[in-house]
Amino acid sequence: MSGQRILTWLGVLGVVILLGVGIGYLATRNTGLNSQLSGSNLPGSTNSANPNNQASSTKLLPDRPHLWPTNVNPPNSVGASAAVVPGDLITNWEDKVDEILGADGDEAEKAKKMIEMFPRLPEEGKVEVAQHLSNLVPDEGYEPLGKFLTNSTLPEDVLDVLLSDFLNRPNGIKLPLMLEIARDPQHPKTAEAKDMLELFLEEDYGSDWPKWQAKMEQWLKENPD
């Protein structure tokens, strides 16, 4: 084989070796890039080789709410709150009421039992029991009924019964509770309570509740029961 042909073959062999090295370099580079893109450096990604990675990524998420993982609730989210389960209602309340009324014992004891069952009654039961309580509870024991009356979550039918009885109570009971209801914007009877205050005190202080309080105390001193 002549010297010129040997040089030609060596040149071709060199080109093939260079092409092989170049292809190998490109393949290695692409593998590294794909590893970075699918690795643990992206927000929300996990990596078994770095168990602390998920925690470190999550610390940044509260400032970037749009990056919250779909399986993680952000702080104070609605999904993190447990649902409130109401107490079981008394379904046989009519029998319970008849049993209490027909039992031996004084009215105070009967009223106490009805007050204890009151929160667990359906609306119809609350209306009827409120009527019985209006007859059973004396002025000196009115405090439990006062708490029911100022409860803004009770149905209006129940509040109407309590309010009707309330108007027959002494002024020392009426006016403080009127003021408490009037200053509660969520209470269904707010407007009525404010109208009654104006009727008794002959003043209208709007939403200046300290003035209402001072005037009421003065009026009660001048008009004792």
Burial class (CB in 10 A: 0-12, 13-18, 19+), 133: buried
Q: What is the pTM of this model?
A: 0.60
List Cβ neighbours of 60 (8 Å cut-off, separation of 6 or more).
43, 67
Residue 88's pLDDT is 82
Q: What is the DSSP letter of 72?
A: S
Model confidence over 49-84: pLDDT tens digits? 344 444 333 333 333 333 333 333 333 333 222 332
Dihedral angle computed from the Cα positions of residues 217, 222, 223 and 225, in that order, rounded to the nearest 10 degrees: 80
Distance CA 165, CA 39 (A): 72
Distance CA 23, CA 67 (A): 38
The first and second tokens of residue 137, run together, are 């509870």
Residue with tokens 């009324």: 101
Residue 87's pLDDT is 59
> Digits of tens for pLDDT over the chain (225 positions)?
445 555 455 554 554 455 554 555 444 444 444 444 444 443 444 444 344 444 333 333 333 333 333 333 333 333 222 332 355 899 899 999 999 999 988 999 999 999 999 999 999 999 999 999 999 999 999 999 999 999 999 999 999 999 999 999 999 999 999 999 999 999 999 999 999 999 999 999 999 999 999 999 999 999 988
Distance CA 28, CA 4 (A): 37
Distance CA 146, CA 220 (A): 18
